[in-house]
């Protein structure tokens, strides 16, 4: 946002993805995906990102291990490891990253939260 010094946002939606599980088998899923997560540098390391991400998880009633992440930055990967113990990713042929546990207890049914439209959370602090 032009002219704003304090910005935090998460953009997420549900998309149909073809993933490879730990055995290399192709699995079609429709997980909640984080497309972008941003905290302006002057607000990093103050807990705002964790508060915003935790709110999104509670609001959508989803565990972070059951989500897919679109090309997460090294900082976002570090954030996920530090706060949610997400460390070991399962290599994918697309740009998404999923972690160990993503395929555990996942049924073929589309979760009800994925039947909603694309969503985003945008917060300004000034």
Domain ranges of the chain: 7-124
- The counts of H helices and E strands in the chain are 2, 8
Residue 123 CA: distances (Å) to CA of 8, 13, 36: 5, 17, 14
Q: How far apart are CA 109 and CA 38, in angstroms?
A: 31
CATH of 7-124 among 3.30.1440.10, 3.20.10.10, 3.50.50.60, 3.40.630.30: 3.40.630.30
DSSP annotation of 23:
T
pLDDT digits (tens, 9 = 90+) for 85-106: 999 888 687 888 999 888 775 6
Please state, for a pLDDT cut of 90, what percent of the chain lies above it. Answer: 13
pLDDT digits (tens, 9 = 90+) for 1-48: 445 565 566 666 666 677 777 777 777 888 888 887 878 888 788 888
Token pair belonging to 102? 């993503």
In contact, 68 and 37? CB cutoff 8 Å: no
């Amino acid at each position: 946002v032009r002219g704003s010094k304090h910005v935090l946002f998460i953009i997420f939606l549900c998309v149909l993805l073809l993933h490879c599980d730990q055995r290399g088998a192709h699995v079609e899923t429709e997980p909640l995906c984080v497309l972008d997560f941003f905290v302006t540098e002057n607000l990093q390391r103050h807990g705002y990102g964790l508060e915003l991400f935790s709110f999104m998880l509670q609001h959508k009633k989803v565990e972070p291990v059951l989500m897919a992440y679109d090309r997460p930055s090294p900082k976002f990967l570090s954030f996920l490891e530090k706060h949610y113990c997400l460390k070991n990713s399962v290599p994918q042929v697309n740009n998404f990253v999923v972690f160990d546990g993503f395929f555990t207890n996942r049924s073929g049914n589309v979760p009800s939260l994925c039947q909603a439209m694309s969503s985003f959370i945008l917060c300004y602090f000034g």
